[in-house]
Amino acid sequence: MSDIALIQNIAEYAGKTVTIQGWVADKTDKGKLQFLRVRDGTGVIQATLFHKAVSPEAFDLAKRVPQESSVRVTGEVRQEPRAPGGYELAVTDFQAVQLARDEFPITPKEHGIEFLMHNRHLWLRSSRQHAILRIRATIIKAIRDWLDDNGFMLMDTPILTPASVEGTTTLFETDFYGDPAFLTQSGQLYNEANAMAFGKVYCFGPTFRAEKSKTRRHLSEFWMVEPEWAFGTLDDYMNVAERMVSYVAQTVLQQRAAELQVLERDTSFLEKIVPPFPRISYDDAVKIIKEKGDANFKWGDDFGAPDETLISEQFDRPVFVHHYPTAMKAFYMAPDPERPEVCLSADLLAPEGYGEIIGGGQRSDNLEYLEAQLEKHKLPREPYEWYLDLRKYGSVPHCGFGLGIERTVAWICKLEHVRETIPFPRMLDKIYP
């Protein structure tokens, strides 16, 4: 048998005979000429079978091979302008590994979202899903590369936790040797302990929220990267976040141009994603909403989706909104010393209506303040004892943020819904496949 080649490297094999192992994505029957589009996971290549060039058995097999059968196809790689991708395989041998037993549900024609989601395990084979999930992988790698190269250390935080971070949102409860335990909503609190031990850290992993949210921006299980560092301030956080997000955008632009093209994503928007990002205060954001949107918006209200869209529409790159009302944010956010009704927090709103992709800020380093906040938020003290310890032994100003991977992917790919940004999305009441 000839060498196994990957389709992504096919140009290197021009003039040579190779074998491709993959699946029949599509085919065209022209009588004594068969065209098969073969996909191997790294790309798609057209395999051309002339009746005279292969054995009668191989030709007959190609004629009746159903869509998504697994195959081995051998032939000479040649440049061919008429073939999609510019190269084709002039087939000399063709074998089936398995003939698909039933009609493949997903055809090159249109399908509804309900049907596609039910067949998510098969939908993953389509070119659009390949483009999105490759970009997801590139985004994750870019984030981790940037953090690793800028002195942050990966420290994974637990998935099973005894208590909620925010205390309010809904948790998935599990049984932990007879006691309740909860799937994590955030690595935040543990990250603070890690930062006091190692200085600059980040965690990266799945988080779980049992919110009854049914929107294009929500998943029950989503991935989040959370940097956290000692001696960091609100401004430090915004500086780090904008550099990291810019690096991600530029990396996707450089490495995933072909995938962005499959998604018909205009790449000029990506070129604009460079520091500095605009920064406005919550107060200023409220002014914008009152002037251009909801005149009845009151200081202290949280932004709704239309409000976030309105704010982000004022800028051509992501915008930080900082100094939110203290009452709106998590108990651990540091209050502004000059103006305690607002806190040293900031969210990053993505352009084009994609909403909040980062939330973060400076954490309170004051023991008495946090004790009072726990009471105010009606949180039990005992599960937070260890967290309060961090303010007893060398407490320092520190900051951090969490970036939602799926929302970032949806924004960069300009997708309608986050459900396509993860291989198997978990959504309200939906856990199949």
Partner RNA sequence: UCCGCGAUAGCUCAAUCGGCAGAGCAUGCGGCUGUUAACCGCAGGGUUGGAGGUUCAAGUCCUCCUCGCGGAGCCA
Tell me which residues in 294-353 interact with RNA (CB under 7 A). Answer: 302, 304-306, 308, 328, 347
The amino acid sitting at 181 is A
We find the least distance from the C-beta atom of residue 97 to RNA, in angstroms, to be 18
Within residues 156-175, the interface with RNA by CB under 7 A covers 166, 168-169
Q: Which is nearer to RNA, 51 or 72 (CB)?
A: 51
Which of these segments, 145-153, 196-204, 209-217, 250-258, binds RNA (CB under 7 A)?
209-217
Q: Which is nearer to RNA, 199 or 325 (CB)?
A: 325
Q: Which is nearer to RNA, 169 or 254 (CB)?
A: 169
Dihedral sign computed on CA atoms, order 373, 379, 385, 387: negative
We find the least distance from the C-beta atom of residue 393 to RNA, in angstroms, to be 27
Whole-number Å distance between alpha carbons of 10 and 87 = 8
Instruction: Let me know: does 6 contact 19? Beta carbons within 8 Å.
Output: no
Per-residue binding letters, 41-70, with RNA (x by CB under 7 A)? -----x-x-xxx-----------x-xx---
The amino acid sitting at 239 is N
We find the least distance from the C-beta atom of residue 80 to RNA, in angstroms, to be 5
We find the least distance from the C-beta atom of residue 21 to RNA, in angstroms, to be 21
Within residues 69-88, the interface with RNA by CB under 7 A covers 80, 82-84, 88
We find the least distance from the C-beta atom of residue 84 to RNA, in angstroms, to be 4
Please report how the helices 405-413 and 234-255 are oriented relative to each other, as an axis angle in degrees rounded to 10.
50
Q: Which is nearer to RNA, 279 or 417 (CB)?
A: 417
Per-residue binding letters, 401-430, with RNA (x by CB under 7 A)? -xxx-xx--------xxx---------xxx
271 by Cβ neighbours in 10 Å (0-12 / 13-18 / 19+) ranks as: exposed
Within residues 114-143, the interface with RNA by CB under 7 A covers 114-115, 117
Q: Which is nearer to RNA, 11 or 197 (CB)?
A: 11
Figure out which of the listed residues 56, 110, 296, 385 binds RNA, where binding follows CB under 7 A: 110
In the DSSP assignment, the letter for residue 388 is H
Whole-number Å distance between alpha carbons of 206 and 222 = 5
Residue 109 is a binding residue for RNA (CB under 7 A): yes
Pairing of strands 33-39, 44-50: antiparallel
Residue 279 is a binding residue for RNA (CB under 7 A): no
Which of these segments, 7-15, 106-114, 153-161, 372-380, binds RNA (CB under 7 A)?
106-114
Within residues 356-385, the interface with RNA by CB under 7 A covers 356-359
Residue that has been written with the tokens 């609190």 in this structure = 189
Figure out which of the listed residues 8, 55, 98, 107 binds RNA, where binding follows CB under 7 A: 107
432: its two tokens: 């199949």
We find the least distance from the C-beta atom of residue 289 to RNA, in angstroms, to be 11
Distances (CA, A) of 157 to 131, 178, 198, 227, 342: 30, 22, 14, 12, 29
We find the least distance from the C-beta atom of residue 116 to RNA, in angstroms, to be 7
Map residue 63 onto helix, strand or coil. helix
Within residues 218-247, the interface with RNA by CB under 7 A covers 218-220, 222, 224
We find the least distance from the C-beta atom of residue 88 to RNA, in angstroms, to be 5
Q: Which is nearer to RNA, 76 or 236 (CB)?
A: 76
We find the least distance from the C-beta atom of residue 226 to RNA, in angstroms, to be 9
Which of these segments, 69-77, 99-107, 233-241, 252-260, binds RNA (CB under 7 A)?
99-107
Please report how the helices 127-149 and 234-255 are oriented relative to each other, as an axis angle in degrees rounded to 10.
140
Q: Which is nearer to RNA, 134 or 216 (CB)?
A: 216
Instruction: Let me know: does 112 contact 424? Beta carbons within 8 Å.
Output: no
Instruction: Let me know: does 205 contact 403? Beta carbons within 8 Å.
Output: no
In the DSSP assignment, the letter for residue 362 is E
Whole-number Å distance between alpha carbons of 202 and 148 = 9
Figure out which of the listed residues 35, 172, 198, 269 binds RNA, where binding follows CB under 7 A: 35
Instruction: Let me know: does 321 contact 282? Beta carbons within 8 Å.
Output: yes
Q: Which of 345, 358, 347 is nearest to 408 (CA)?
A: 358
Distances (CA, A) of 63 to 47, 90, 101, 320: 13, 16, 16, 58
Whole-number Å distance between alpha carbons of 428 and 215 = 9
Dihedral sign computed on CA atoms, order 327, 328, 331, 334: negative
Distances (CA, A) of 147 to 141, 152, 153: 10, 5, 8
We find the least distance from the C-beta atom of residue 198 to RNA, in angstroms, to be 23
Q: Which is nearer to RNA, 63 or 367 (CB)?
A: 63
**Site size with RNA, rule: CB under 7 A:** 74
